[in-house]
Amino acid sequence: MTARPWLKIVAVLVGLFLTVPTLVVIPMSFSSAKTFRFPPGGWSLEWYERLFTSPEWTTAIVNSLQVGVITAVLATVLGTAAAIGVTTLGERAKGLAVGFLLSPIIIPNILIALVIFTTFLRIGLTGSLFGIALAHTALALPFVVIAVTARLQGMDPALRKAGGSLGAPPFAVFRKITLPLAMPGVLSGAVLAFISSFDEVVISLFLQSPTAITLPVQMFNSVTVQIDPTISAASSLMVLVVSVPILLAQVVGARRGSRGK
Amino acid sequence: MAADTAAPPKRTLSPSGRRRVGGLLLLLPALVALTLFFVLPLLSIIVDSVTDPEPGLGNYASLFTDGYTLRVLGRTLLVALVVTVAGVLLAYPYAYMMTLAGPSVRAVMVTVVLVPFWTSMLARNFAWMVLMQDGGVVQGVFGLVGLGDVTLLGTTTAVTISMTQVLLPFMVLPMFSVMQQIDRRLTLAGQSLGASRFSSFRKVYFPLSLPGVAAGASLVFVLALGFYVTPALLGSPQSSMIAQVISVRTRDLLDFGGGGAMGVFMLVVTLAVLAASRRLTGPGGAAGAAHAIVGGNER
Amino acid sequence: MTTPTPGAGRIELTSLSKRYGSGPLVVDDVTIDIASGEFVTLLGPSGSGKTTTLNMIAGFTEVSSGRIRLGGRDIAPLPPHKRDFGMVFQNYALFPHMTVTQNIAFPLRERKVPKAEIARRVEQVLELVDLTGMGGRRPDELSGGQQQRVALARAVVFSPSVLLLDEPLSALDRKLRQSLQQEIKRLHEELKLTFVFVTHDQDEAMSLSDRIAVFNNGRVERIGTPADLYRNPGTRFVARFLGESNLFEGSLRPGGVYEWGGHKWAADGTPGEFDLVVRPERLRIAATPAEVPADANQVPATVAGLYFQGTHQRIELDYGEGPAGCAVLPPDAVGADLRPGSGVTAYWDPAHQVLVTRPNEENE
């Protein structure tokens, strides 16, 4: 069955709508103007220079990296353990546990921000990078759980039984069979957890303090509080840091998929 | 595993029982973390909403009596609805095309959906700010088609356009995952039985794709309700949506009761919409979308 | 469910060809004249062009060149839904969101048949396929065999003049397949429609069809009745695809002598490079060459395997070179001392051998 021409045209237009607007940030970042005029009148590296030298931006970048790494580590450890733990549950309990673990993905971020903010305010965790990382961990957990679960589902349950029948005690089966097989899922979960934290803005906005400003918060403030074109360089950086790993994963995935056939 | 060393051999658990205990131990930390950082705070907010500043349902009553709050609520629901409808109209042909395309074209199409999803939210909103500013590209396009110099930035229109784009992946992926499972021969069968190509599509394919539409639409609607960044950057205080009001109430006014009531109301709407869509689509819907987003082309 | 008008179900395929883009011909100059009410099977391995041919008849695939006529009328310009063919698909293609009754009523609704008439005809056809009372079920509540019978009912309920069947039994297990073969045969006799049946299963083709068109590399290699094709396959491909054979790749010399591996056998025909084929049930086995009748052709062989199968026994034979063969004999036709590895003499009546052509290139 072939696609009608109009269908192809609509699909191309939707594809352009999805991708092209975002690309604006790249030429913008090389603009020499102090405004957001597009297309830029002249070119310069001024905003990149500012992004990597001015203390408010560099601090924000370092903060974001710290929060992202802490989040990735916590979420990956908790999420991987949980995803493996879930496989031992019965059908009903499994559904409940997975539903609970995935709930942060469906609850609007503003709500999570609201509840975490009020609680952290009471226990004095606002304004600290660690507090932000903890909140991000709850948010990133579903990504790790999904990635690892998907990997485990593709795994033949007989492998575990085979390990047992060959004399490996349960922990050895876990360490030598389950974990290595789940590894690709664990790694992609970790990357996704890092990215979801690195890009998160709403919760970080609520929990921010002058000493705890992440890159997205600094970007947000740079357009709402003052007009600072450095955001265009930061945006380009974000596109690079966030999109490139995903794109690579896609390409590798597609290649692996086609090789499998 | 702990039982293994502590108890004498006779009283060790059976292998399956031991596995179960091990599994629970693995699961526990995540459940505790989620409870500590999500469930308990949520409960405290619910408590706040009926006790702060005074016990009773006053916070909820003012939600539906205060003119400003009502306007914001109405605007939020309207924007979410428009974004959802526009999303369905754009995503359906795209997702359908994905099922028709060959493997390599399809991989490109999946990437085109996933990359914006994972592209920084702020970068995307900033891009829209640039495009929609006065004298910007979008205004120029509007001018070309004879709409004149409409001001976009700071209006609900700008917010709606940008949100439609940002949320489109959530629409495409569940639709695609449902459409992919529809046997293409069914529409051929319809044609062999005397239905025209269009009629066969309408009576056979479309009804079968509806679960995907419902899953995508409910997901987008729910996410649109709670959108904060886009209305904050592209809208204006005059076109606030509920998330901004919640932010102002709690962060600036420390009115946890009032903000909490709004949050709880939003949560209730969210859960109601998701439950309704779950009835329509079965449990796979939203979860399927989540899997598609994380797993990419793994399936 | 009325008897179609005579001649309405005649399908003429004339020089039908299909190529995708600038690729090779998938269907290459296919000409078949199918009489009204005939059961014709398109048989061939996967990729041989049989399904593409069926899809061209159904209208799902555009014709690159050639003509398709139904009842004398060119149907090339008609879209699938106006061709009025019933079609049964490989995996049934029942609409999962409709009940059995709704599935069967679908073609009638599309044709704006009055409601009462629809109800009557659905009942009638449910009875025909022995599914009375199942109308309220959903397809996923039915067994594979029941689903296939619903698919058959749906494809014939609107009284098409032709029924196209695309490997309809391939998804079923062996036992079910046999009972549905009988069902299809019975439907064909009762409805007197033209059946065009696509399969890669030679047994199915042989037991169902009036005629079989054997497809190879996009071409119709041979067309004929099952018995005719079996006895006189004509080409090596057909000989090997339809039934088993003992095949010798020698050549026919002038003077009625067929030469293979140093053996000389009596054979008729124009000299040339032909394969000699003997069907297993025509082959006899002797313990020593002395026991072979004088006018028989013979060849020494080694027994590779012996299988007792109740009504007959099967002896697999190794001829030293060329493809292995076998003999199918009555249970007591050979001595009990035969073992795998025994040397024997295989022989046959020259009247029971056939010569077949070889493929031009090694593109089998």
Does C93 contact B208 at a Cβ distance shorter than 8 Å?
A: no
Confidence band (pLDDT; 50, 70, 90) for A259? very low
Same domain assignment for residues B38 and B103: no
Amino acid at A83: A
> Considering chain B, what percentage of its residues have pLDDT values greater than 70?
87
Chosen from B1, B37, B45, B244 to mutate, greatest number of chain A CBs within 10 A: B37
Of the partner residues B22, B127, B296, the one whose CB lies closest to the CB of residue A24: B127
Give me the mean pLDDT over the B162-177 stretch.
90
Q: Please tell me the distance from the alpha carbon of residue C249 to that of residue C362, in angstroms, as a whole number.
A: 14
The beta-carbon contacts of C1-6 under 8 Å, at least 24 apart in sequence, are C1/C121, C1/C124, C1/C125, C1/C128, C1/C156, C1/C157, C1/C159, C1/C191, C2/C159, C3/C192, C4/C36, C4/C159, C4/C161, C4/C192, C4/C193, C5/C161, C6/C36
All residues of chain B having their beta carbon less than 8 Å from the beta carbon of residue A150 are 291, 294-295, 298
Q: How many CB pairs under 8 A join B and C?
A: 68
Residue A99: both structure tokens together: 């539903």
pTM for the model = 0.79
The domain limits of chain C are 11-231, 236-357
pLDDT of residue C306 exceeding 50, the answer is yes
pLDDT tier at C362 (50, 70, 90 boundaries)? very low
Q: What was the pLDDT predicted at C5?
A: 61
Q: Are residues B169 and B25 in the same domain?
A: no
In degrees and rounded to multiples of 5, residue B58 shows phi and psi of -55, -40
DSSP state of C266: E
C99 interaction partners in chain B (CB closer than 8 Å): none
Residues B114 and B24 in one domain: no
Considering only CB atoms, which chain B residues are within 8 Å of A257? 103, 107, 297
Across the interface, whether the CB atoms of B207 and C97 are under 8 A apart is answered yes
Residue B11, in any domain of the structure: no
C329, β-bridge pairs = C313
Instruction: Give the type of residue at C310.
Output: G
| Coil, helix or strand at residue C363 | coil
B183/C91 CB distance under 8 A:
yes
Q: Are C94 and C148 in contact (CB under 8 A)?
A: no
Residue C100 pLDDT level (bands cut at 50, 70, 90):
very high
C-alpha distances out from residue A82 to A79, A146, C179, C244, Å: 5, 10, 51, 59
- Are A136 and A71 in contact by the 8 Å Cβ rule? The answer is yes
Amino acid C92: pLDDT = 85
| Span C337-360, pLDDT tens digits | 788 888 889 999 999 999 999 876
A179-199 and A215-224 are packed helices; what angle lies between their axes, rounded to 10 degrees?
20
Rounded to a whole number of angstroms, the CA Rg of chain C reads 24
- Identify the three-state secondary structure at position C325: strand
Distance of residue B204 Cα from the nearest chain A Cα, in angstroms: 16
Q: Write down the pLDDT at residue C210.
A: 95
pLDDT digits (tens, 9 = 90+) for A36-55: 777 787 888 888 888 889 99
- Work out the average pLDDT over A104-132: 85
- Rounded Cα distance between B116 and B61, Å, is 40
Residues in CB range of A251: below 8 A, 6 or more apart: none
The residues near A222 (Cβ < 8 Å, ≥ 6 apart) are A228, A230, A231, A234
pLDDT tens-digit map of B21-49: 777 888 888 888 888 888 888 888 888 88
Are C246 and C326 within 8 A, CB to CB?
yes
Q: Which residues of B touch C122 (CB under 8 A)?
A: none
Please state, in angstroms and rounded to a whole number, the distance separating the CA atoms of residues A176 and B107. 34
Q: What is the structure's pLDDT at C153?
A: 93
Asked if the C-beta of A109 comes within 8 angstroms of chain B's C-beta atoms, the answer is yes
Domain ranges of chain A: 54-227
- Per-residue pLDDT reduced to its tens digit, B255-283: 888 888 888 888 898 888 888 887 776 65
**Closest C-alpha among C125, C9, C17 to residue C70:** C9
* Among the listed residues C8, C48, C90, C35, the one whose alpha carbon sits nearest the alpha carbon of residue C241: C48
Q: Tell me which of A236-240, C229-233, C325-329 is least confident.
A: A236-240
Q: Nearest-5° angle of CA B68, CA B70, CA B71?
A: 65
Give the residues across from C328 on adjacent strands: C314
The percent of residues in chain A predicted with pLDDT above 90, rounded, is 21
ω into residue B283 within 30 of 0, thus cis? Answer: no
Radius of gyration of chain A (CA): 22
A32 in reach of chain B (CB within 8 A):
no
Rg over CA atoms, chain B: 24
Chain-chain contact of B195 with C110 (C-beta, under 8 angstroms): yes
* CA-based end-to-end distance of chain A: 22
Residue type, A29: S
> For chain B, how many structural domains are there in total?
2
Distance in angstroms (rounded) separating the CA atoms of residues A82 and B139:
50
- Which pLDDT score is estimated for C225? 95
C176, HSE (Cβ side, Cα atoms, 13 Å): 13
Alpha-carbon distance of B50 to C179, in angstroms, equals 70
The stretch C282-307 carries a mean pLDDT of: 88
Average pLDDT score, chain B: 82
Residues 6+ apart with CB under 8 A from C5: C161
- Alpha-carbon torsion (C341, C343, C349, C354), positive or negative: positive
* CB-nearest partner of A235 from B94, B120, B223: B120
Percent of chain B at pLDDT > 90 equals 19
* Closest residue, chain B, to A36 (C-alpha): B130
- Exposed, middle or buried by CB within 10 Å (0-12, 13-18, 19+), for C248? buried
Q: Of B185, B194, B208, which is closest to C81 when you measure between CB atoms?
A: B194
Backbone torsions φ then ψ of C264, nearest 5 degrees: -125, 125
Provide the shortest C-alpha distance from residue C85 to chain B (in Å).
6
Question: Is there a contact between B108 and B214 (Cβ–Cβ < 8 Å)?
Answer: no
Pair of tokens at residue C203: 């047994």
Residue B251: DSSP 8-state = I
Tokens of A30: 């090389």
Helix, strand or coil, per DSSP, at residue A195: helix
Interface check for A181 against chain B (CB to CB < 8 A): the answer is no
CATH number of the domain to which B286 belongs? 1.10.3720.10
| C316 sits in which H/E element | strand C313-318
For A121, the enclosing helix (H) or strand (E) is helix A109-123
Instruction: Extract the tokens encoding B73.
Output: 């609520």
Give the ipTM of the model, two decimals please. Answer: 0.83
Convert C189-208 into a string of H (helix), E (strand) and C (coil): HHHCCEEEEEECCHHHHHHH
Q: Return the number of other C-beta atoms located less than 10 Å from residue A28's C-beta.
A: 24
| B102 CB within 8 Å of a chain C CB | no
Neighbour count for residue B279 (Cβ, 10 Å): 10
Q: What is the pLDDT of residue B221?
A: 92
Q: What is the pLDDT of residue C363?
A: 44
Structure tokens at C41: 């099977």
Taking the Cβ of residue A76 and every Cβ of chain B, the question of whether any pair is shorter than 8 Å is answered with: no
Alpha carbon B192 to chain centroid, angstroms: 39
Q: For the segment C256-271, what is each residue's pLDDT rounded down to a tens digit?
A: 889 898 888 988 888 8
Peptide bond into B207 cis (omega under 30): no
Q: What is the pLDDT of residues A169-220, one digit of tens each?
A: 767 777 777 788 888 889 888 988 998 898 899 999 988 888 889 999 999 9
**How far is B209 from chain C, CA to nearest CA, in Å?**
11
* Domain over C236-357 is classified CATH 1.10.150.120: no
Cβ pair C120, C84 in contact under 8 A: no
Structural contact between residues B182 and B208, judged by C-beta atoms closer than 8 angstroms = yes
Calpha distance C168→C184 (Å, rounded)? 10
Subunits next to C (3 or more Cβ pairs <8 Å) are B
Q: Is the pLDDT confidence value at A167 over 70?
A: no
What is the per-residue pLDDT for A9? 92
Q: How many whole angstroms separate alpha carbon C144 and alpha carbon C166? A: 16
- According to DSSP, the residues that pair with C277 across neighbouring strands are C247, C354
Confidence of residue B296 (pLDDT cuts 50, 70, 90): very low
Q: Which of B111, B187, B222 lies nearest to residue A106, judging by beta carbons?
A: B222
Superfamily of structural domain A54-227: MetI-like (1.10.3720.10)
Residue span of the structural domain in which B28 resides? 19-48
pLDDT of residue B291: 54
- C-alpha closest to that of B245 among B81, B122, B74: B74
Give pLDDT, residue B18. 61
Burial A96-129 (b: 16+ CB within 10 A, else e): ebbebbbbbbbbbbbbbbbbbbbbbbeeebbbeb
The tokens describing C75, both together, are 């149907």
Q: What is the pLDDT of residues B214-240, one digit of tens each?
A: 989 998 998 899 889 899 888 888 888
Contacts of B65 (CB under 8 A, 6+ apart): none
| Domain covering C11-231, topology | Rossmann fold (3.40.50)
Separation between Cα atoms, residue C27 and residue C19, nearest integer Å = 7
Find residues 165-204 of chain B whose CB sits inside 8 Å of chain C.
Answer: 183, 185-186, 188-197, 199-200, 203-204
Note whether B24 and B107 are same-domain residues.
no
In which band, very low, low, confident or very high, does the pLDDT at B12 lie, cut at 50, 70 and 90? low
Our measurement of the distance from residue A67's CA atom to the centroid of its chain's CA atoms, rounded to an integer in Å, reads: 12
| Contact present, B125 and B229 (Cβ < 8 Å) | yes
